[in-house]
Amino acid sequence: MASPIFKRGAEFQPASGAEAHNAALQGNSVATQNANLNAQFNSPSASPADTGRMTYEGVIAKTSGIAILVLLFAIPGYMFPNTVGMIAGAIVGLVLGLVIAFQKRPKPFLIALYAMAEGYFLGAITVWVQDVYDAPGAGLQALLATGITFGVCLALYKSGKVRYTPKMQKFLMIGLISYMAFSLVNVLVMVFGPETDNNAFGLRTSYEIFGIPLGIFIGIFAVFLACISLIGDFDFIENAVKRGLPDWVEWKASFGLIVTLVWLYIEFLRIIAIMFGRR
């Protein structure tokens, strides 16, 4: 016989039909919540891409896309070279590059326009160098040199043997200012100086050191600066990913890489032109 205490307590009395139904619903709701919690617990954690953060994959994809756009527009520049178009491409690329560089949040469509203008300019100037200096294959040589240099810098950075130290940053800044000052003076010499056979690149070809044109030494120095710039680009990308910066920073990182690679290509192409011009 059951205890009278249990009989008197309402909570111990048999439930009515409605009460039993409500209790069943509550039990199903709790079971569903538990199942959802278990599913969330067992599901993989959100990746940086899922949370709108910068990733290496995003930088690689955007850099590849911009590079392909440069190459695509280099084709008409190479096949249908035009002096006016070459100069226009150089000016438009320079202006857009400065605008994008000073933007806090770069706009993808401006970067695409930069790639188009720079691509045509590179294609046209490559043909100009090959024709004027009788340097067949100069474009391919400069392209291979650029790719190899990029790969070596990336390998050195990934190995940890080369790091973007404060001393390297100061050297790059001083070197860039010096190189820009020389380039400005050289342009003035090319425009207003006397036209001679050995003055095609201004001071770069009109002066020699131990029988070697000054432009070769300046070009090697510029390539070295570009390599340091690449190391700085890699350092920026690594730190930005670690800090979890927004994914739009991928555009900024990709643009920086492309600018440095274009600079490298032009320097290699100029070195090749000066060397062929001495034959």
250, pLDDT greater than 50: yes
pLDDT in the model for residue 229:
96
The percentage of residues in the chain with a pLDDT greater than 90, rounded to a whole number, is 64
Report residue 212: phi and psi, to 5°. -110, 130
Mean pLDDT of 66-88: 94
C-alpha to C-alpha distances, 85 to 47, 95, 188, nearest whole angstrom: 45, 15, 22
Report residue 209: phi and psi, to 5°. -125, 115
Mean pLDDT of 266-277: 91
Distance CA 99, CA 89 (A): 15
6, pLDDT greater than 80: no
At 199 the three-state DSSP class reads coil
Between 195 and 61, the more confident residue is 61
> What is the number of other CB atoms lying within 10 angstroms of the CB of residue 6?
10
Residue located via tokens 């527009």: 73
List pLDDT tens digits, range 196-219: 555 667 778 778 888 888 889 999
pLDDT in the model for residue 17:
53
Mean pLDDT of 101-112: 94
- Residues belonging to the chain: 279
| Average pLDDT of the chain to the nearest whole number | 84
pLDDT in the model for residue 68:
96
Distance CA 190, CA 103 (A): 32
Between 200 and 250, the more confident residue is 250
181, pLDDT greater than 90: yes
12, pLDDT greater than 70: no
| DSSP, res 212 | E
pLDDT in the model for residue 30:
52
DSSP code per residue over 23-61: HHHHHHHHHHHHHHHHHHHHSPPPPTTTTTB--HHHHHH
List pLDDT tens digits, range 13-24: 444 555 544 544
Q: How confident is the model at residue 189 (pLDDT cuts 50, 70, 90)?
A: confident
10, pLDDT greater than 70: no
Q: How confident is the model at residue 176 (pLDDT cuts 50, 70, 90)?
A: very high
> Residue 203 carries which side chain, given as an amino acid letter?
L
Distance CA 198, CA 262 (A): 26
List pLDDT tens digits, range 26-76: 555 555 555 554 554 554 544 555 568 999 999 999 999 999 999 999 999
Q: Return the sign of the alpha-carbon dihedral for residues 103, 181, 138, 93.
A: positive
pLDDT in the model for residue 200:
64
**Is there a contact between 189 and 202 (Cβ–Cβ < 8 Å)?**
yes
pTM: 0.80
Q: How confident is the model at residue 7 (pLDDT cuts 50, 70, 90)?
A: very low
The percentage of residues in the chain with a pLDDT greater than 70, rounded to a whole number, is 78
Beta bridge pairs of residue 53:
246
Instruction: Number of helices (H) and strands (E) in the chain: give both, helices first.
Output: 10, 2
- Give the CA angle between residues 136, 276, 120 to the nearest 5°: 50
| DSSP, res 15 | P
